[in-house]
Chain A
Amino acid sequence: HQTHKSAPLTNLRTMKILVAVKRVVDYAVKIRVKPDKTGVDTQNVKMSMNPFCEIALEEALRIKEAGFAKEVVAVSIGPPQCVDTLRTGLAMGADRGIHVEANSSFLPLTIAKILKSLADVENPGLIFLGKQAIDDDCNQTGQMVAALLGWPQATFASKVVVLDKDKQFATVDREVDGGLETLSVDLPAVITTDLRLNQPRYATLPNIMKAKSKPIKKMTLEDLKVDIKSDIEIVEVTEPKKRKSGVIVSSVDELIDKLKNEAHASLWNYYRFSGFGVDGGPAAKKLALKLNLANANLSSRLWVTLSNIEVRQASVTIVSLIAIGGVIFVIRKIFGAYLAVYFTIVSPILYDIYNNGPEDRYFSPFWIELFKISLQLQIFRSYKAKIMQSMRMDE
């Protein structure tokens, strides 16, 4: 590819600003997916200028009104109805418009190529675009235009300050994941606008009337010598899975109760065990400590070292073995007994018996736990025995 080398600007006051505006479904409309899954239903639906494009145009107008630019040119690429969007832009204050006739299914790369060709013709000092269109949510075009022109880019701008005619650069605050980042970009540059950059003006009636006489130039792809790039095809458009409808609770108590009992089980387990996380979470970390301690004790007293135990596997194994052990104990006493022995070895580790004496707070809870569980298992066994008895009596 060739990098575009633009002539250095001699006077900022003659600078042109190119603003790309897109006609999209209005942001407040609740869209519907077509039953044949080919796309979203845009027939008889309110269309407006993309909100981010409005912000872009507003910023360009403010820079011109501050005396740093001479002309604001609005561009729209698409079907004939784009002229309405351009008229709105002209009513806001743009000096002239350019409409590039095109199919509305053009990919951002083709749009970027069209804008590049226009920039080659118009030689603007700044190109403003909205950071993304609210229909396809692509967030690509501005960056691609900058790449094709070889210009620096400042995306997601929340503040733009163009300095005076000697210093040909702009200082831009960008909204990034961590907060705000400030860049200074040499002009000519491409800037994409984010929500908080400005509050776009309303077109006043006198301006709407004036806009009718402002020129809108029509151009085609042939005029701009752009090849259509179609390396992405839309297979289908579907609706996302609908959430199950929820319930209205009447009090905070009810809310907490529902969250505890109904909501996704892992949520409250998370609360208790703080989740497993990537490394096993705090519960597993504690277990790891205890395992290591027990390991150390064993090795020092018995000259035996257990190999490196993978903590998460260990905790999962322990839990599942307890479960299986309980089931088997109910069905077949002997097998259950073996697993109960395993359990007696493991629980001390969990409750730090090796290291704590009777005065420590975990000591008695451990024995109580053990007693409780064995009691429960005995109860289950007796129920099972009763059922077996009644079955035998029926024969």
Chain B
Amino acid sequence: MTRAILTKKKLVLSNAHRFISITNLSRCISTLILAEHESGSIKPQTVSTVVAANHLGESSSVSLLLAGSGSSLQEAASQAASCHPSVSEVLVADSDRFEYPLAEPWAKLVDFVRQQRDYSHILASSSSFGKNILPRVAALLDVSPVTDVVKILGSNEFIRPIYAGNALCRVRYTGAGPCVLTIRTTSFPVTPITESKKATISQIDLSKFKEDAVSRSRYVGQSTQDTERPDLGSARVVITGGRALKSVENFKMIEKLAEKLGGAVGATRAAVDAGYVPNDLQVGQTGKIVAPELYMAFGVSGAIQHLAGIKDSKVIVAVNKDADAPIFQVADYGLVGDLFEVIPELLEKLPEKK
């Protein structure tokens, strides 16, 4: 009889222990996402980051932080409120200080917002904006960030690429502070949204926000290409040219092919260095990472650093005069030939897009 009671007690205790560990697992996840916006709307990278935030765990609340000034900010905020059903609130910081995305005031703003409410995770996309600001935020919070996350395995475990994507590193964040992440958005595609939910929009009170007046940075200007071409980072078809194109004029062939297929134009580092195209078309380890349905590379040798940017493409097609070019080892379809003959032939023979 006593033995039965003793075993019963043991059972109760072990169950209690299990209950405690379960509650630890489901601790509330509240995420703050640094949103990027332009001309009154949220950039698609931010929506991908929201999708990523959903992978962190159940019962997570997602807040978007928008900073800027003027009417385009307020427009972006109202668009952000319905950009994804997971967004529970939109925080808006309206001030001239945030007119341009400078790292110093933005990082201070994130710290300011975090001091008012505890977030378990702080996210941004792995764009030049996120990569510039988030590590600064992490250092202000004295935590180690995890950058360029391609897979989320739990609230504290992530996978990120190293050695130009030739190895994948699985890391676990064991710190006490908020988990700071930048997300590689090509790994978190946005699925079409069925329900629309409008999140609350609240203006942040910046009266107590103080900025370092002594040493600062100032925005001077920018030179961006204003094109109607689809954005390289999210295009479904990407046509890339390498140094073999030899001139800016010849690159127009690539542009024509891209237009025919409704795709974006990319370039290798060599082509950008040679001045055939501007730098924002560079695809690779230190350029843009793309994951299109179709990636066509013309005159691209296939250096490790370039391949790092295209590994997640569904179909890779390569055209190169050199049969030993490394690109043929990753291409699904390779054609050994002169691109100056192949591209016109393709332009002629490819069916018209309906």
Contacts of B220 in A (CB 8 A): 171, 182-184
The answer to whether A259 and B128 have CB atoms under 8 Å apart is no
Closest to A251 in B: B335
The A interface, classified by DSSP as helix, strand, loop or mixed, is: mixed
Contacts of B7 in A (CB 8 A): none
Quick one: which of A180-206 are within 8 Å of B by CB? 180-189, 194-196
Contacts of A312 in B (CB 8 A): 192, 194
9 A-B residue pairings within 8 Å (CB atoms): A147-B139, A147-B140, A176-B280, A195-B273, A231-B143, A237-B162, A239-B167, A312-B192, A313-B194
Which stretch in A92-100, A151-159, A208-216, A294-302 binds the other chain? A151-159
Distance between B36 CB and nearest chain A CB, rounded to angstroms: 9
Q: A25-B163, A177-B280, A267-B315 are in contact. List 9 more A-B contacts (CB 8 A).
A: A1-B140, A137-B163, A147-B139, A175-B279, A175-B280, A179-B225, A185-B218, A252-B346, A264-B293
A140: interface (CB < 8 Å)? yes
Quick one: which of B297-333 are within 8 Å of A by CB? 304-305, 311, 314-317, 328-333
Cα–Cα distance between A61 and B127 once the two chains are bound (Å): 30
The answer to whether B315 and A238 have CB atoms under 8 Å apart is no
A235: interface (CB < 8 Å)? yes
Cα–Cα distance between A27 and B304 once the two chains are bound (Å): 9
On whether A240 and B161 interact (CB within 8 A), knowing A233-B172, A246-B334, the answer reads yes
B236: interface (CB < 8 Å)? yes
Cα–Cα distance between A152 and B220 once the two chains are bound (Å): 15
Contacts of B273 in A (CB 8 A): 195-196
Contacts of A230 in B (CB 8 A): 174
Contacts of B107 in A (CB 8 A): 147
Cα–Cα distance between A187 and B333 once the two chains are bound (Å): 52
The answer to whether A247 and B162 have CB atoms under 8 Å apart is no
Chain B residues within 8 Å of chain A by Cβ, number: 97
Which stretch in A128-136, A330-338, A348-356 binds the other chain? A128-136
A249: interface (CB < 8 Å)? yes
Which stretch in A72-80, A275-283, A362-370 binds the other chain? A275-283
B278: interface (CB < 8 Å)? yes
The answer to whether A134 and B285 have CB atoms under 8 Å apart is yes
A289: interface (CB < 8 Å)? no
The answer to whether A240 and B311 have CB atoms under 8 Å apart is yes
The answer to whether B294 and A132 have CB atoms under 8 Å apart is no
Cα–Cα distance between A154 and B215 once the two chains are bound (Å): 13
Cα–Cα distance between A294 and B166 once the two chains are bound (Å): 54
Cα–Cα distance between A132 and B287 once the two chains are bound (Å): 12
Cα–Cα distance between A28 and B326 once the two chains are bound (Å): 13
The answer to whether A140 and B147 have CB atoms under 8 Å apart is yes
A33: interface (CB < 8 Å)? yes
Cα–Cα distance between A259 and B296 once the two chains are bound (Å): 11
